[in-house]
Amino acid sequence: MKTNSWESKMGFIATLLSVALMSCNSTVTEPTSSLKDAYQGRFLVGTALNKSHNYGNDTLGISLIKQHFNSIVAENCMKSMHIQPTEGVFFFEEADKFVEFGEANGMFIVGHTLVWHSQAPAWLFVDENGADVSREVMIERMRNHIHTVVGRYKGRVDGWDVVNEAIMDDGSWRNTKFFEIIGDDYIKLAFQFAHEADPDAELYYNDYAMSMEGKRKGVVELVKQLQAEGIRIDGIGMQGHMGMDHPDIGEFEKSIQAYAALGVNVMITEMDITLLPFPGEETAEVSLSAAYQEKMNPYAAGLPDDIAAAWEQRYTDYFQLFLKYSDQISRVTLWGLTDADTWRNDWPMKGRTDYPLLFDRQYQPKQVVQKLIELTENKE
Ligand code: GLA
C-alpha cells in the first residue's frame, strides 16, 4: 500500500541518517602511534588473520594489520578440518600464504591449533565402518597430523597452540575423542610430537574461561604434570573472549599470577569484548547455538555513547592489567581486526551486530586505540 511504502521509505532514510551520525561520532583522528610501537618492549600485539587477509583480498585490512600488529595467528586455516579435510590429503595453500605474509612483514607467527575436538574432520576419529579407531591408530593419526603440519613450517612458525580447550570449567578433563580413545596421556603425546617436528618452536596450551577457579586449578595441575615429565611447554594462552560483566578482572589477575608462577609465558590469545546479551549463562563454548531474536540484537542501528564509553573503559582496564604484568605476558592477540568480520556477529546467534574489536566497520580505529596507546605513556 502507498502509505506503507512511504512509511518504509521514511524509516529507511531515518536509519541511514542515524547510522551516518553514529559513524561520524565514532570516527576518530589517526592515533598518535601504532599499537605495536606503543607496546614495544612490553608485549607483542597480535591479531587473527581470516581468509580475505590470507589471500590478499582485504587490502584495507592488510594495511591496518601491518601498521598496528607484530604478531599474527591463523583464525581458521590451520584447524584440522581445513588443513587435513581427508586423511592424508593436506590443504596447505591458505596456511602457506598466512605464513608468507607473517615472514614478509617480520611478524611473530602463531599456528592455531593442532589438537582440538572442535573444527576437526569426522574421519579423524573413526574407521571405515564409522567405529572409533583404536588407541594405536588414534596416536598415529595425531602424530602424523602434527608432524606433517608443524614439520612443513619448521623454523617459520614461531609458536603453536598445541592443544586447545582440553580442560572443563571445573578443572576436569574434557571428554573429547582424543581423551576417550587415547587416554590421559594424549596431551603429553601431542606436545612431544610437536617438539619432535620443530624443536625450536614454542609450544602452548590454550583455553577459554581461564580465569575461573576450577579451570585455573586444572590447567595448573596439567602444566605441572607436563613439566614434571620433562615435556616442553612454553606458554599458556588465556583466550580472552570477554563480555561486559565477565570475567571478573580480579579473578583474571589471579590466573595470570598462577600461570606465570609455573615459569611459562602467559598470553592473551583471542581477545574480544562483546556487547551483546548472551542467551543463557555466558561461556565461549563454540558448540552452542540459539535462534535469532530481535531483542537480543539491541545495537543493530548503532552504539549509544554511554555503552561505547563503558566498553572502552573495560578494554583500558584490561590493558592496564596486562601492562602491570608485562614481564609475565609475552603477547596480547585480538581475535580479529574489524567489527565487520568478528565471529561474535554470528555466535551463538546468527546475524547480530556486535562491536567487540578495536577497528570499526569502516576500518577506522576506534577511540579506544588511542587510549590503549596512551596507557603505555603513563607507565614509568
Ligand atoms: C575458540 C577457538 C578459536 C575460534 C573461537 C571462535 O576460541 O580457539 O579458534 O574458533 O573459538 O571463533
- Helix, strand or coil for residue 293? coil
168 lines ligand 1 (CB under 6 A): no
For the chain, the structural domain boundaries read: 42-377
Question: DSSP H helical segments within the chain, as ranges?
Answer: 2-26, 35-38, 51-54, 59-68, 80-83, 93-104, 135-152, 177-182, 186-197, 213-228, 249-260, 305-324, 367-378
Inter-residue contact 138 to 178 (CB < 8 Å): yes
CATH of domain 42-377: 3.20.20.80
Output the pLDDT for position 379. 52
pLDDT exceeds 80 at position 12: no
80 lines ligand 1 (CB under 6 A): no
pLDDT digits (tens, 9 = 90+) for 167-206: 999 999 999 999 999 999 999 999 999 999 999 999 999 9
294 included as an active-site residue = no
Contact 108, 159 (CB under 8 A): yes
Nine cell digits for residue 10: 521514511
pLDDT digit string (tens) for 52-78?
999 999 999 999 999 999 999 999 999
Give yes or no for residue 239 CB within 6 A of ligand 1: yes
Write down the residue that cell numbers 570475567 correspond to: 247
pLDDT confidence of 285, banded at 50, 70, 90?
Answer: confident
Specify the pLDDT at position 19.
42
Supply the residue whose CA is at minimum distance from atom 3 of ligand 1. Answer: 75
Does the Cβ of 270 fall within 6 Å of ligand 1?
yes
Ligand 1 site, residue 220, Cβ cutoff 6 A: no
Which of 37-46, 93-102, 288-297, 300-309 bottoms out in mean pLDDT, i.e. has the lowest?
288-297
253 is catalytic: no
CA-closest candidate to residue 144, choices 115, 103, 102: 115
**Cα(311) to centroid(ligand 1), Å:** 22
Contact assessment for residue 186 and residue 215, using Cβ atoms and an 8 Å cutoff: no
Mean pLDDT, range 230-257, rounded to an integer:
98
Give tens-digit pLDDT for 16-51. Answer: 444 444 444 445 578 999 999 999 999 999 999 999
The neighbour count for residue 48, using CB atoms within 10 Å, is 27
Report which ligand 1 atom has the smallest distance to the Cα of 241: 7
Q: Name the closest-CA residue to atom 1, ligand 1.
A: 286
Q: Give the DSSP per-residue string, 303-353.
A: --HHHHHHHHHHHHHHHHHHHHTTTTEEEEEES-SBGGG-GGGTSSBTT--
142, 182 in Cβ contact below 8 A?
Answer: yes
